[in-house]
Amino acid sequence: MTPTGSPSGSASRSSRGKTPLFGELLRKGVHLASIVIPLAALLVEKNLMISLLVALALVLVLADFLKLRNQGFKTFFVNVFGELLRRREKAGSITGSTILVASAALTIMLFRREIAIAALVFLSVGDSSAALVGMKWGRIRLVCGRTLEGSLAAFTSCLLASLALMKVAPFFSWRLVPIALVAGSAVATLAELVDLPVDDNLRIPILSGLAMELLIPG
């Protein structure tokens, strides 16, 4: 039995203490990497992109189903992806990755190409920035456990992403309007801030996409 004050006991407590933060950093790092989806949508034809995302979503849904119904698969899944999973996901609920991929397919299906890409970029950078900055520097509490610093980081990162989108817009003959991108950034930030019953991986791109769709002439 390890004494309470021993180095190994301290290391164990330190490891346990760091695990939640490490897991959240890892999850948000992977979430940020989801920017590959809108980047791929720049190059892949719309219907093909939707088909690929739907196929991937179905694979992820199957994995979620097996995780719920088969203990052996659940053990394997948690052992492999445990650091990326929240407690409820380990228990059997649908994973955020499944919702994100399905949401991306729906977003591309519903909106014009440039709007869908902008909305998915906002999801990737805005949500990740809010979480990472909020965890590290968040001091002023707002609602639903969110912080002012995190929300400002989300809005700022979406605005910076908007500048990048405006730069590439002429190459793709996009009709992006600055005010619409600002509105989309604001809506994405609010969608991340308010904890609605709908998962943020779904509400951020759909609501921000809708705002931009209304402000950008067809």
What residue spans define the domains of the chain?
21-215
Residue 10 tokens, joined: 């301290």
Residue 135 tokens, joined: 């965890």
What is the reported pLDDT for 5?
A: 43
- The angle subtended at Cα 202 by Cα 85 and Cα 123, nearest 5°, is 80
What is the reported pLDDT for 18?
A: 46
How distant, in Å, are the alpha carbons of 60, 64, 91, 100, 106 from that of 78? 14, 11, 9, 19, 28
Mean pLDDT of the chain: 86
Which segments within 136-217 are labelled E, that is strand?
Answer: none
Residue 103 identity (one-letter amino acid): S
Share of the chain above pLDDT 90, in %: 55
What is the reported pLDDT for 21?
A: 63
Instruction: Return the closest-CA partner of residue 74 out of 59, 96, 89, 86.
Output: 89
Q: Tell me: the pLDDT tens digits for 132-144?
A: 888 888 888 988 7
Distance CA 150, CA 169 (A): 28
12 pLDDT more than 50: no
